[in-house]
Chains A and B, each alone.
Chain A
Amino acid sequence: MKIIASTICLILFILLSSCINPNETTPGSTNISQVYSIVNKGSDTLVNLALAWAEKYQQLYPNVEISVTGGGTGTGIAALINGTVDLANASRQIKPEEIQQAKANGINPVEYVVARDAIAIIVNPENPVNHLTIQQISDIYSGKINNWRDVGGDDRIIVRLSRETNSGTHVFFLENVIRLGDPKNKTLFSTDTLLLPSSEGITAETRDNPNVIGYDGLGYVTPDVKVIAVESKQVGLFVLPSADTVNNGKYPIARDLYMYSNGQPTGAIADYINWIMTPEAQTIVTQLGFVPIVIP
């Protein structure tokens, strides 16, 4: 009987304590004596960077608590639309229909470019292929090329790996690589493309399997997979992704990374975003393999 009663008490306690809303930020400038909390969620590509920023910022300003979670760009923007986060991380621009849904919920998304990123095309180190054109990558992923022989490799079936459809990387890759950046192009991923739920899944399979082609954010590439050089706008010039080649525009599969807030932010959230734009915060971007927006 005692055990049952204490269990019920415990459950009630957990339920009640989760009702307390921890993210009430008062408008106005940051007040040292008060604790502010910022909820930050979204793109898995951005999650490590966002965590590093949050950690550093909390060291500088111990009265601000920033909670960072991943889940994908779609998840982050959906959370912003539903009003459950202060800042949504996105690896693509918000879609017009998402803006519509947000407006319908009384949310007004404001966009900030916080860093840049490149998508690296990766294969198993045993694969002899070193470089591909965007057209070839598009043909591979749309199912027109099915054997590594056709792009200068061994006689092996190509296994295509992709992130799940809720990943911003997936949408960016579809629009800018498979559809070659043409909005009228309606090519889709080949149906037998493996959709893996995490970057780790893609790295693990690429490390192990010589048939595989995969793609992932430059910040996620580990040394045990091989990065493919991609043809730049200049015909015949193949470029490996790096901070330099992204910044000077030579590497063709690059993109901006965003944060979205609800309306013009005030108080602690505005301070945080302003800090992200400083050289100090952008140094962290370089350290994590992304490309900074303002040169420190």
Chain B
Amino acid sequence: MESTKNLNEYLLTRLIKISGYSAIVFVLMIFYFLLREGLPTLGEVSFLKLISIRWYPIENYFGLLPLIGGSLIVTLGAAIFAIPIGICTAVFIAEVAPRWTRDILKPLVEVLGGIPSVVLGFLGILILAPALRRLLDLPTGLTALAGSILLGGVAIPTIVSVAEDALDSVPRSYRDAALALGATQWQTIWRVTLPAARSGVMTAIMLGIGRAIGETMAVMMVTGNAAVLPVKWNSIFLPARTMTATIAAEMGEVAKNSTHYHVLFFIGLVLFLISLGINIAASTAVFKQRKRAERILS
């Protein structure tokens, strides 16, 4: 009896350990694959050509700047759109809404997160883009802005869900103490609850932005996919081409191991490094804050 218990325990510990390590192994394997398929680019295309501003792969123009710029401007737009709405919704659900509203809202937001992005893209192409064109008097509605709004829609459910969990796990006593000191509900939320849940809220934002920058289908359908470097003040109102849409639109066509194929993997590598950078920046920020908070508490 005792030995089977030990055996079970042993197996379970091992299993959990393997699952834990497997995530690391997968990331390393993906990284290795991207390096293997993407790095030959540097031998085939000169660096100057890669940082030029023209992307037209069928005639060997491999300028990556318009694509990187396109991804950044669409993601930035999505962040500006999604972060305030997402955090406010999370605060409302966690702190303000009465119990019954909360029981309806939380599952609804999670359903919103489950809508396939191709459906969002469809709505974007049929409703959002024409509406934007008429409303803002643009030459065309298929712009970086349309992509930003859709990506905001993709990121909001993630932000709300994770941020709400973080706010919810702030101990009741914090709020009681603040209210007992005479703080209003708004002061409690803004000065006590949100700062206490800061690392969780930060994670929520990062996960949301991570979803946005990697999103492909909806973006490909509504941004117009014109590879223009977004340097003008009104670039958000002009068409843009993101890295993800480029990979998705062109990967099906390329012959394996051609220069174009390697460049597409190189774009994947750049995308991977950008999201890695965002994650590292976010986690260092979170760690710093935790240290300061611990100092104050101790």
Contact = CB atoms under 8 A, between A and B. Distances in A.
A, B in one complex:
yes
B238 interface: yes
A214 B12 CA distance: 61
Contacts, number: 90
A81 interface: yes
A85 to B, nearest CB: 13
A195 B249 CA distance: 10
B136 interface: no
Interface residues of B, number: 34
A196 B140 contact: no
A208 interface: yes
Contact of A194 (B59, B133, B140): B140
A101 B130 contact: no
A205 B129 CA distance: 9
Interface residues of A, number: 33
B233 interface: no
B226 A191 contact: yes
A197 B54 contact: no
Contact of A78 (B57, B141, B253): B253
Contacts of A201: 125, 221
A194 B225 CA distance: 6
A204 B226 contact: no
B224 to A, nearest CB: 4
A208 B126 CA distance: 9
Contacts of A71: 252-253
B36 interface: no
A81 B130 CA distance: 41
A71 B252 CA distance: 8
A293 B249 CA distance: 32
B58 interface: yes
Contacts of B249: 164-166, 195, 197
B253 A159 contact: no
Interface of A: 71-72, 74-75, 78, 81-82, 98, 101, 156-157, 159, 164-166, 171, 186, 188-189, 191-197, 201, 204-205, 208-209, 211-212
